[in-house]
Amino acid sequence: MPDRVLALVTDAWGGRGGIAQYNRDFLGAIAPAAALRILPRHASDPVRTLPAGAMQSPQRPGRWRYALAAVLDALRHRPDVVFCGHLYMAPLAAAIARLRGAHLVVQTHGIEAWPRPSRWVRWATEQADLVLSVSRYTRAQVLSWAALDPERVAVLPNTVSGRFTPGDRAAARRRFDLGDQRVLLTVGRLASSERYKGHDRVIEALPPMVASGHDVLYLVAGEGDDRARLESLARGAGMSERVRFLGAVAEGDLPDLYRAADVFVMPSTGEGFGIAFLEAMACGTPAVGLSLKGDRDALAPTQGSGAAAMGAPGRTLGDGGDGESGAPRRSLRCGAGGESGAPRRGWQDGNDWIDATLAVLSQLPGPEAPELCARSVAGRFAPPVFGRRAVALMQQVAKADSPRGDGRGDRLQGSGIRHAARA
């Protein structure tokens, strides 16, 4: 394990959102074994308790002030590893790692790492001893634009908090004032910039569902500038009574909300990871998604979980696709019980996820189903699983050859090549 780690992050303790949570999970896991200095750009909430051995400096929203503070910190404390929590900070992190002769670890999340970034970001990423990606899709995208040996890009997925567990479903339904209707749920921001999440698709699918005899209610949790449009869409479809906009739901209320639903559905075409799928399944609720991008990993526990379902082509990549990572393929895995179904319908009609949703709604899960579903998630994405991997990966980085002066960035597979890079 490295002795001293400098973490350049957008936010961590005192921050909000998925990236801040990821940073807390990662840095919290390695903190017991390293002197950890955290430099956040933002910390909107009070920083309460930090892990032992960790120090977090005040937020510095200004770019240049932040960069100066990072350089000074590195000069003063001589880190062994520079952890870069967001791709846009990679050039700064790479420069500091070079300056101090430190190893570089770059974290990539979702959509920020998918398009080809600027030349400087590419250069910086290619300096990394280790690039972490939250999903296989993001890893594949990084490798599509960075000339990196694939062994230097590892997947370290998001984790599901231990508070997401199966619970008293009846109580949860009472709490949200739900009757006998079968409940579909989506949790996510209603941002016009994130329409890929697929609220539209669910709303548009409601009329045929109802027409085919399903008495469904669609709960939409989340707030954002796209809400009015979605409400209008629901009205236009004659589904106002069947779509309930809950607004922002407090973190503490989320587990019960997931437990109350019959199926969590988010036919998203651009999910970076899809932590909400995992949270729902950890609460024992089947999840349905398109399994197109980062959500391919989050929906993996649906297979064989006994209770979950996914309405999209499975992880098979070899046939019928359009050649892009995680792109739709014709083979289909769906249906309750996580069975691997035979190809049923071509992707072109885009409605496989509806089949999967209806398959879940059409059968009553057994009493053991929520536990099975939750266990499938915990075995793969629980914080201890994450922490063990995070620490081991950092140990691996620390054990790697000294990065200084070896022509890094020009490294090619199979050594002997570093000298050549210098020449």
CB nearer to other proteins: pick between 256 and 297: 297
| Nearest approach, Cβ of residue 78 and other proteins (Å) | 26
| Nearest approach, Cβ of residue 175 and other proteins (Å) | 32
Is the Cβ–Cβ distance between 199 and 192 less than 8 Å?
no
| Nearest approach, Cβ of residue 238 and other proteins (Å) | 41
CB nearer to other proteins: pick between 40 and 110: 110
| Nearest approach, Cβ of residue 95 and other proteins (Å) | 21
CB nearer to other proteins: pick between 66 and 273: 273
Query: Which 3-state string (H, E, C) describes the chain?
Result: CCCEEEEEECCCCCCCCHHHHHHHHHHHHHHHHCEEEEEECCCCCCCCCCCCCEEECCCCCCHHHHHHHHHHHHHHHCCCEEEECCHHHHHHHHHHHHHHCCEEEEEECCHHHCCCCCHHHHHHHHCCCEEEECCHHHHHHHHHHCCCCHHHEEECCCCCCCCCCCCCHHHHHHHCCCCCCEEEEEECCCCHHHHHHCHHHHHHHHHHHHHCCCCEEEEEECCCCCHHHHHHHHHHCCCHHHEEEEECCCHHHHHHHHHHCCEEEECCCCCCCCHHHHHHHHCCCCEEECCCCCHHHHCHHHCCCCCCCCCEECCCCCCCCCCCCCCCCCCEECCHHHCCCCCCCCHHHCCHHHHHHHHHHCCCCCCCHHHHHHHHHHHHHCHHHHHHHHHHHHHHHHHCCCCCCCCCCCCCCCCCCHHHHHC
CB nearer to other proteins: pick between 228 and 412: 412
CB nearer to other proteins: pick between 150 and 238: 150
CB nearer to other proteins: pick between 76 and 119: 119
CB nearer to other proteins: pick between 157 and 198: 157
| Nearest approach, Cβ of residue 220 and other proteins (Å) | 29
CB nearer to other proteins: pick between 118 and 415: 415
| Nearest approach, Cβ of residue 420 and other proteins (Å) | 4
Interface residues with other proteins (CB under 8 A)?
Answer: 133, 135-136, 139-140, 143-144, 147, 149-155, 157, 297, 300, 303-304, 315-319, 321, 323-325, 379-381, 385, 389, 392-393, 396, 410, 412-417, 419-421, 423
| Nearest approach, Cβ of residue 93 and other proteins (Å) | 21
| Nearest approach, Cβ of residue 389 and other proteins (Å) | 7
